[in-house]
Chain A
Amino acid sequence: MTAPNPHRPAPGAPRPYHFPAFTHRLLPNGLTLWVVPLPDREMVSVHLLVDAGAASESEAEGGIASLTAESLTTGTKRLDGHAFAEASERLGIELTADSSWDVARAGFGALAATWEAGLELLAEMVREPRFDEGEFDRLREERLADILQARSEPGRLADEYFLRYVYGDESPYGRLSAGAPETVEPLAVAQARTHHDGNWRPDRSHLVVAGPLDEDAVTTRVAAAFGDWSGTSPGHRTIPVADSGGRRVVIVDRPGSVQSELRIGHVGIDRRHPDYFPAMVMAGVLGGTFSSRLNQRLREELGYTYGARAAFDPRRSAGPFSARAAVQTEVTADAIRETLDQLDKMQAAPPELAELREVTDYMIGVFPLRFETTMGAAAGIEPIAIYGLDHDWWATYRDRVEAVGPIEAHQAARDLLRPAQSLILLAGDAARVRGPIESADLGPVEVVRPADS
């Protein structure tokens, strides 16, 4: 397929491109400031990264980290929720705050002329939050409504149950970082205050500022806004991870579904895994691009789906690996067999050099596109700050991708994929898919109804 085509124009000489130069410095209160000067841009991106994600909460309070972050946007001691929204939106800024497992984030994008006022509002929001009881209760009820909504969306339903069955009850990763109804329901504003007080502290936090600014000017502004922010935080706990193991099929029953939302996988890798690059390249060949094996087979050859993908989701502890597709109900069992077949093939032999190069060339070539915007450049700092990656991460990134060949990718497939122990989970019409799946002998089959669990 990638044999040279006589008509194809030859590429010109590439213009060298590097990740933008950046600086970092530790402020006296422990806050690390990262500045990415982008002199020819119009926008400024400001991201505050705090070690206050779901890994900093207890299981009994599952969801409090996320609700605490969200609550920050509902006002400060000075301004109530609506007044705070007006104050930021008058600047053309929408201040956001949220949290994942690994980090809590607060920040904004702004025109350069308003970034300083935005920074002051961000500092006010983070340091002097209002934590109004009515607003907190509202957000909690909205969260509960969203969890309810998610269970009527087949894709989100499958995601939730996939995690639950891959990680089991023993690992917090078995739930969403947003929490479960039973832990969210009893949460009260006092817990948000306590979570914020203990965890939203400068010593383990990073502030990333990218835009048409110089480091000294940014440092002065940041020192004024955050310099006397103080205190220390305990940081995240280590999330224990154990694969609940063994090949099995779980059908989350959704009667009347015209498609099955399919998730096949198991526990994957953590963000600092030594085989990170071989794993990313291998997953790219398997299901990372339009031309990947899974998409070619399930979509372009068989027409079973609008798209099939596979990916690792590396976190501080080992996040999941999954192959995923929404497939027509009638072909569910066949689609499972085809997916498992592609996992087996990935392990059986090294990828062809040409298909591997398609992936590595993409990862290398797309590099400037990723950092085209100020937000893209600011986001580039995040993994370095959060996971403590080497500061030359992006400087060496393309060489490290290039160094992955068929042997390394094959080794990653053998070490990191476990098709024979995979969970096969789908959200779909059990009455229609169960028979063919049982006939296909894919492992023990369990049917659950979302209402039961």
Chain B
Amino acid sequence: MAHVPIERHQLDNGLRVILSPDDRTPIVAVNLWYDVGSRNEERGRTGFAHLFEHMMFQGSANVAKGEHFALIQAAGGTLNASTWNDRTNYFDTVPSHELELALWLESDRLANLLPAMTQEKLDNQRDVVKNERRVSIDNQPYGTWEERLQALLWPEGHPYHHSTIGSMEDLSAASMDDVSRFFATYYAPNNAVLTVAGDFDHDAALAGIERHFGPIPANPVRPPTPSGAVPDSLGGEIRETVTDQVELPRVHVAYRIPPFGTEGHQAFDVVSDLLGTGHASRLYRTLVREEQLAADIGAFVFPWAGGSTAIACYATARPEVEIEALETRLLAEIDRLATDGPSEDELARVRTLHAAAVEGGLEQVGERADRISQYACLFDDPEQINTEIARYDAVSADLVREVMAARATADNRLVLTYVPADDDDDAEVGTDANDEAAA
């Protein structure tokens, strides 16, 4: 396995900086994680962290609206940003000789955003985001599933109760005053991690980072992130059925599990692969291949670190298959894993698949930088990028059984079912949001 070099620095203003050199290709990634996401939003302002991310592309004191995109692309680079529950990340990959351009652009909007903000730009991006919500959620079959899952798994007021995209109503309510306050509160160097990975001159990169980011003041009064602590169990099965513009019924099953960064979460990461990764996985083998009840299946964990997160599985019924029958078999497969645990052969299979996927992901400097920032931002431990495979491989069959017995229980279960609307019905369409939202 390739070892990813990690060199840590911190500027006087608190900005955490990580350098990870790799000169195989003359390109370099600049990646910033701000420790703010939808979990930090105020009541009545769902979706604001993501809307704010869009405003970060609307120009700053020395950069015109649209110019960040234009300059990076003209330099031969790629860029974007995304917002999720725990964070907002901004990332550029550029040819090596344009590193300082990316540093300058990222620093100018951190240092000097507000002079460029206008009501007109806010109104425009509010419309864009509402259309993002429509295209990814409201106008998609099953599009509301993640939003509903969050609303049902965590109580009102919990940081994960609402989706990242937010509600139309709250998006409408966002004001210029909100933009100023949010920026002043969260967009400070002491609330961010900057990773530079790829081909760069070490001393020149450090000097450039100090030159562009060093003068930006810290915010000493950044409020604490709200606690996401909840009981381990839902305390009773929750069921919801949604009538939607879909052709085939689909059932989602989810459980509250320990947060990202814990051993229990790591075990559920393995569980999700045992159930749903590859054509030899349990759900594919039984529901798709052998019994032919499902048209497709999936299983995954949400990598959220704030107190509690979830594992979710789904199966879409083949035409003519009753969704109740599919649900019964899906739950039976989950229970079987909880009872019997995985075989050593199954564990070996998912470990090898996982190792290859990690190595494949790390081929790209952009991906490497993003994972380094993730571990640094969430856990102050960027070195975790080098133990991903070891941590995964450490999950034993006993641990899988143990966490499944504790969490994959009927009273900690959410069952969310989508059924087709009759032709004459108006489909019920959700009014709130979610998914990892990109700029």
Taken residue by residue from 14 to 30, chain B's Cβ proximity to chain A (1 for < 8 Å, 0 otherwise) reads as 00000000001111000
Q: Are B101 and A15 in contact (CB under 8 A)?
A: no
Q: Does B356 contact A (CB under 8 A)?
A: yes
A91 located at the interface, meaning its Cβ lies under 8 Å from any Cβ of chain B in the complex = yes
- Across-interface contacts of A141 in B (CB, < 8 A): 292, 318-319
For the complex, give the distance between the alpha carbons of A365 and B126 in Å.
32
Docked pose: A4 CA to B168 CA in angstroms: 39
Instruction: Check A40 against B24 for contact (C-beta < 8 Å).
Output: yes
Contact A152 B363 (CB under 8 A): no
- Bound together, the chains give a CA A129 to CA B225 distance in angstroms of 56
Q: Are A145 and B131 in contact (CB under 8 A)?
A: no
The chain B residue with its CB closest to the CB of A364 is B76
Docked Cα-Cα span, A135 to B288, in Å, equals 10
B104 near A7: Cβ-Cβ < 8 Å? yes
Closest to A108 in B: B356
Contact status B62-A5, CB under 8 Å = yes
Most B CB contacts (10 A, CB to CB) among A141, A327, A357, A372 go to A372
Residue of B whose beta carbon sits closest to that of A87: B280
14 other A-B residue contacts (CB within 8 Å) besides A138-B289, A291-B66, A328-B130:
A7-B104, A12-B97, A15-B95, A15-B199, A40-B24, A43-B360, A111-B355, A114-B352, A141-B319, A289-B73, A299-B128, A304-B131, A361-B76, A368-B26
Given A1-B66, A145-B248, A368 and B27 contact (CB-CB distance below 8 Å): yes
Q: Using Cβ atoms and an 8 Å threshold, which residues of chain A touch B208? A: 9
Within residues 50 to 97 of chain B, which ones have a CB less than 8 A from any CB in chain A?
62-67, 69-71, 73-78, 93, 95-97
Can you give 5 A-B contacts (C-beta < 8 A)?
A: A85-B285, A291-B66, A326-B135, A361-B73, A368-B76
Decide if B98 is an interface residue (CB 8 Å cutoff). Answer: yes
Is residue A148 within 8 Å, beta carbon to beta carbon, of the partner chain?
Answer: yes
Identify the 6 closest CB pairs spanning chains A and B, nearest first: A365-B76, A303-B127, A92-B356, A92-B352, A85-B279, A12-B97
Shortest Cβ distance from B128 into chain A, in angstroms?
5
The answer to the question of B108 belonging to the interface, with a C-beta cut-off of 8 Å to chain A, is yes
Given the interface pairs A11-B97, A11-B101, A373-B363, the reply to whether A365 lies near B77 with Cβ below 8 Å is yes
Judge whether B118 is part of the interface by a CB distance below 8 angstroms. no
Contact call B131/A327, Cβ cutoff below 8 A: yes
- Chain B residue at minimal CB-CB distance from A112: B359
- A85-B278, A149-B141, A296-B66 known; A362-B76 Cβ under 8 A: yes
Chain A residue nearest to B24 in the complex (CB): A40
- Residue B132 is within 8 A (CB to CB) of chain A in the complex: yes
Question: Interface with B: A47-55, A241-249, A251-259, A341-349, which one?
Answer: A251-259
The A-contacting residues of B in range 271-305, CB under 8 angstroms, are 278-280, 284-285, 288-290, 292, 295-296
Give, as a whole number of angstroms, the nearest-CB distance from B223 to chain A.
31
Q: Quick one: CB contact mask for A141-184 with B, threshold 8 Å, 1 for yes?
A: 11011101101111000000000000000000000000000000
Contacts of A375 in B (CB 8 A): 360
Q: Give the nearest-CB partner of B359 in chain A.
A: A42
Kindly identify which residue among B67, B141, B345 contacts A1, using a CB–CB cutoff of 8 Å: B67
- When C-beta atoms are compared, the residue in chain B nearest to A16 turns out to be B26
CB < 8 Å: which of B95, B131, B141 contacts A328?
B131
A237 adjacent to chain B (CB < 8 Å)? no
| With A290-B69, A303-B126, A304-B127 as contacts: A14 and B352 at CB distance below 8 Å | no
The verdict on B140 contacting chain A, using a C-beta distance below 8 Å, is yes
Confirm or deny: B100 has a beta carbon within 8 angstroms of a beta carbon on chain A: yes
Query: B381 contacts the other chain (Cβ, under 8 Å)?
Result: no
CA of A2 to CA of B69, assembled, Å: 11
Q: Smallest Cβ distance from A183 to chain B, in angstroms?
A: 18
The answer to whether A365 touches B75 (Cβ under 8 A) is yes
Does A326 contact B139, Cβ atoms closer than 8 Å? yes
A132 to chain B, nearest CB (A): 11
* Whole-angstrom CA separation of A7 from B129 in the bound complex: 30
Given the known interface contacts A11-B101, A289-B73, A373-B364, the answer about A306 and B131 at a Cβ–Cβ threshold of 8 Å is yes
Residues of A within 8 A of B1 (CB): 42
- B365 close to A372 (CB less than 8 A): yes
Q: How far is the CA of A258 from the CA of B168 in the complex (A)?
A: 13
B295 touches A149 (CB 8 A): yes
Output the least CB separation between B410 and chain A (Å). 29
Q: Which of B62, B71, B126, B429 contacts A256 (CB 8 A)?
A: B429
A366:B77 contact, CB within 8 angstroms: yes
- Verify B363–A258 contact, CB threshold 8 A: no
B318/A142 in contact, CB under 8 A: yes
Distance between Cα atoms of A12 and B26 in the complex (Å): 12
Flag whether A351 is at the interface (Cβ < 8 A): no
State which of B24, B125, B135, B295 has its C-beta within 8 Å of the C-beta of A142.
B295
Q: Is the CB of B318 within 8 A of A372?
A: no
Q: How far is the CB of B44 from chain A (nearest CB, A)?
A: 22
Indicate if the CB atoms of B295 and A92 lie closer than 8 Å. no
Q: Which of A55-80 contact B (CB under 8 A)?
A: 73
B108-145 at interface with A (beta carbon < 8 Å)? 108, 123-132, 134-136, 138-141
Which residue in chain A gives the minimum CB-CB distance to B346?
A: A86
The smallest beta-carbon distance between B208 and chain A, in angstroms, is: 8
Whether A259 contacts B295 by the Cβ 8 Å rule is no
**Chain B hits for A357, CB < 8 A:** 74
Distance from B93 Cβ to chain A, minimum over Cβ atoms (Å): 6
Whether A303 contacts B125 by the Cβ 8 Å rule is yes
A124 to B104, CA, bound (A): 53
B349–A86 touching, CB < 8 Å: yes
Cα A15 to Cα B28 in complex, Å, equals 12
Residues of B within 8 A of A303 (CB): 123-128, 131
Q: Is the CB of A42 within 8 A of B2?
A: yes
A110: chain B residues within 8 A (beta carbon): 356
Shortest Cβ gap from B53 to chain A (Å):
13
Q: Which residues of A contact B199 (CB under 8 A)?
A: 15
Query: Which of B73, B208, B427: most chain A Cβ within 10 A?
Result: B73
**For chain B residues 205-252, which have a beta carbon within 8 Å of chain A?**
208, 245-248
Q: Is the CB of B96 within 8 A of A15?
A: yes
Residues of chain A contacted by B331 (CB below 8 angstroms): none
A109 pairs with B76, CB closer than 8 A? no
Q: By CB atoms of chain B within 10 A, which of A13, A289, A303, A361 has the most?
A: A303
Whether A151 contacts B64 by the Cβ 8 Å rule is no
CB pair B75 A43 closer than 8 Å? no
A373, B131: Cα distance in complex, Å: 34
Q: A145-B318, A256-B429 are in contact. Are A300 and B124 (CB under 8 A)?
A: yes
A227 to chain B, nearest CB (A): 27
Given A111-B355, A152-B141, A361 and B74 touching (CB < 8 A)?
yes
- A148 — which chain B residues lie within 8 A by C-beta? 247-248, 319
